[in-house]
A = this chain, B = another copy of it.
Amino acid sequence: MANLTRFGISIDSRLLSQFDEMIDQKGYVNRSEAIRDLIRAALVEKEWADDNQQTVATVTLVYDHHTRDLSDKLTEHQHSHHEEIVSTLHVHLDHHHCLEVVVIKGAANRVKRIADELIGTKGVKHGKLVATTTGQNLL
């Protein structure tokens, strides 16, 4: 059950009007929501500085599935970390290219290691980790 608090912030009115314009462009419904998002993003960044913090991440990979043994190697990597790897989405971009998104859950340092391994697999053209959150600390 949500337990809401309300507090006031003071701000220069011209700074506020620029902020209002930006959040309107981004489609936010109100200032509270936009400010909560800024706060949560700062907290998630801090979470990842702690190696042992339980976290969630996604790894986005783009590769050519004609590369010899690549799909097999990626599948093998993922199975050898089946306790951390939750799920995978596969998209066929064109005749050659696949995009794969792998969801990983576990301690921050372990998640980074698995991401490095996937991104470093020979034949992966581009790979990137998104450090997100289990959400449990971000009410």
Chain A contact residues, CB within 8 Å of chain B: 2-16, 18-19, 22-23, 25-44, 46, 56, 58, 60, 62-64, 86-89, 91, 93-94, 96-97, 99, 101, 103, 105, 116-117, 119-122, 124-128, 130-139
Contact = CB atoms under 8 A, between A and B. Distances in A.
A80 B122 CA distance: 37
A16 to B, nearest CB: 5
Given A5-B16, A9-B7, A42-B38, A27 B121 contact: yes
Chain copies in the assembled complex? 4
B87 A91 contact: yes
Contacts of A116: 25-27
Nearest to A112: B49
B86 A91 contact: yes
30 contacts: A3-B14, A9-B32, A9-B36, A11-B32, A18-B138, A19-B42, A22-B43, A25-B116, A26-B116, A26-B119, A27-B121, A28-B120, A28-B122, A35-B39, A37-B119, A37-B127, A38-B42, A58-B60, A60-B130, A60-B132, A86-B91, A88-B89, A89-B103, A93-B135, A94-B134, A94-B136, A101-B101, A125-B133, A126-B133, A128-B130
